Amino acid sequence: MSFRIGHGYDIHRLVSGRPLVLGGVKFEVDYGLDGHSDADCLTHAICDALLGAAGLPDIGHFFPNTDPTFKNIDSQVLLKRVVASLGERGYKVINLDSSLIAEKPKIAPKLNAMKTVLASSLGIPVEAVGVKATTNEGVGDLGRGLAIAAHAVALIEQR
Ligand SMILES: [Zn+2]
């Protein structure tokens, strides 16, 4: 058996007039993340962790923000494509862990929903998906609520 780990990081600016989607779950607030796709920074960080584990280029290489095909696309579609692409290369996802850094909104009530959606996209049990949330304690631009960031690590196995 051959195990490989990968790390991903992403950040998107908070703006008004955009839907807020994190981990494939919509938040009922009047602001959202700016970006070409649905700007789901958690799911993008997870995609990058998986691609990195397989030694592949990052999400921007596979889904460029200059391509109109990906305008406002549901990032779960991108994540499923990443998992399928790893599958074609003989890799299976074992588990992943992730952290959201968000001053607002409150993330905790949606954690389980996010895990369920991500587990489904990843094709792994919900127990194999970690999603945690913290604030930046008011420090810096993240602390002022100007953006939401996410870190993710993933373990994959070569069959
Ligand atoms: Zn992103």
The predicted-structure confidence for 127-150, as pLDDT tens digits, reads as follows: 999 999 999 999 999 999 999 999
Going along the chain, which residue ranges are E strands?
Answer: 2-16, 20-22, 25-27, 31-33, 91-101, 132-134, 147-158
1 pLDDT above the threshold of 90: no
CA 125 – ligand 1 centroid, Å: 24
CA 120 – ligand 1 centroid, Å: 20
Mean pLDDT of the chain: 97
Residue 40's closest CA among 56, 59, 20, 17?
20
CA 1 – ligand 1 centroid, Å: 32
Count CB atoms within 10 A of the CB of residue 88. 7
CA 79 – ligand 1 centroid, Å: 12
Specify the amino acid at residue 112.
Answer: N
CA 56 – ligand 1 centroid, Å: 17
Angle in degrees, 0-180, between the axes of helices 75-88 and 111-122, rounded to the nearest 10 = 40
Mean pLDDT over residues 36-56, rounded?
97
CA 40 – ligand 1 centroid, Å: 6
Distance in angstroms (rounded) separating the CA atoms of residues 127 and 70? 30
CA 71 – ligand 1 centroid, Å: 12
- Provide, rounded to the nearest whole percent, the portion of the chain with pLDDT above 70: 100
CA 11 – ligand 1 centroid, Å: 6
Q: Model-level pTM?
A: 0.97
